[in-house]
Structure 1
Amino acid sequence: MADLSGFNANEIQSIGGAMQTDASKYGNREDVEIQWAMKAYHHAETYFNLISAVDPKLLKLTQLDDEIYKLFRESFSDFNVELLNEDEMKTPAAKEKWRQFCNQFEKKVEDFNMGTLIRLDSKKEFSESNSTIVVRIQFLAIEIARNREGYNDGLRKISKS
């Protein structure tokens, strides 16, 4: 993961403000990409610390967890949340299926389509080789399923060792 120690408080605060601005105004600016990466990394780190500290089955990630989980498992009954396969998730058919699922939450989940890091292997910590980018509602659907189905249960043992 990226080393964020070189940024001071003012830079981090500036990043937060920039992340609230309409993305279409930026184009492909490197500083914006770095700001997004920092925000995504912070979110990933915070979430991992949370699921490593408490019983994931008790976590509520949104007010809509039950609905997200129900619709996710209705749409993706055989989806392997334990070990994500990026190639399978990025086929044209899978992208269309995910798009239909995600768009149900456009007005319900804040930043539903914001890029978010997710672990590929639920048994392992975040790392460069064990993460990929998904939109926020995909992250929520997969992580709610992992929490409810017990795939994140072993993380407390990792963090204690």
Structure 2
Amino acid sequence: MTSSNGLSSLGPEGASAAARALSLPAESYGNDERLEAMWAMKAYNHAEVYFNLISSVDPKFLKLTKMDDEIYTKFRETFRDLDIKVLDPELLKSAEAKERWRPFCNCYEGLVEDFNFGTLLRLDCREDYTQDNSIFATRIQFFAVEIARNREGLNDAVFSAKSSKS
């Protein structure tokens, strides 16, 4: 996953303006397409950094937040049977799923920075971020799923694939 026109293409002033804009409350904007593009770029950059990380560092040693243990425990208590190897988008996005996820996500408000910000989540953990293998999720959903994938050895395939090419 490589990016040739990320935030660095904005230059220092543009990146600074983007950072200021992204720090304002959402109600300040309505449906501004430029802001949506900045959020998409931020989500893409986050995905790129994360994939590079799990490609180069053994995922079982990664700590994504200060609360990894608590997030993992609560996630597995709440979503005991959720198959995280290949996620079903309906189990994240359907009305029923949203009702189930909402209390889990909201308990991290004020505890996990940007817990409800949008980010990209891979559906199949053995694959890179692509249009067909990515879904938009909240940051806490990303953390919960990826912490579990790391602890349960499911991201090992990405690390092993990259290591075997070296």
TM-score by length of 2: 0.90
Aligned-pair Cα RMSD in Å: 1.7
Paired residues, number: 161
* Aligned counterpart for 1:134 among listed residues 133, 137, 143: 137
Is it true that 1:28 corresponds to 2:31 in the alignment? yes
Query: Structure 1 or 2: larger helix share?
Result: 2
Is it true that 1:8 corresponds to 2:22 in the alignment? no
CA distance in 2, matches of 1:88, 1:138: 11
CA distance in 2, matches of 1:112, 1:69: 15
* Aligned counterpart for 2:107 among listed residues 104, 109, 121: 104
CA distance in 1, matches of 2:103, 2:4: 35
Is it true that 1:122 corresponds to 2:125 in the alignment? yes
Aligned position for 1:68: 71
CA distance in 2, matches of 1:76, 1:137: 14
CA distance in 1, matches of 2:79, 2:137: 16
Counterpart contact for 2:119–2:138, Cα < 8 Å:
yes
CA distance in 2, matches of 1:125, 1:75: 27
What's the secondary structure of 2:23's corresponding residue? coil
CA drift of 1:107 comes to 1.8
1:17-96 map, 5 Å: 17-96=20-99
CA drift of 1:43 comes to 0.5
CA drift of 1:87 comes to 1.8
What's the secondary structure of 2:135's corresponding residue? strand
Note the residue ranges of structure 2 that are not aligned, 5 or more in a row. Answer: none
What is the one-letter code of the residue matched to 1:20?
S
CA drift of 1:21 comes to 1.1
Counterpart contact for 2:115–2:140, Cα < 8 Å:
yes
Moved over 4 A (4+): 1-4
CA drift of 1:109 comes to 0.7
CA drift of 1:20 comes to 0.9
Counterpart contact for 2:59–2:159, Cα < 8 Å:
no
| CA deviation map 1:108-137 (0-9, x unaligned) | 111110001011100001111110100010
What is the one-letter code of the residue matched to 1:61?
L
Percent identical among aligned pairs is: 50
| CA deviation map 1:72-123 (0-9, x unaligned) | 0000000111101002322222111100111111121111100010111000
CA distance in 2, matches of 1:109, 1:76: 19
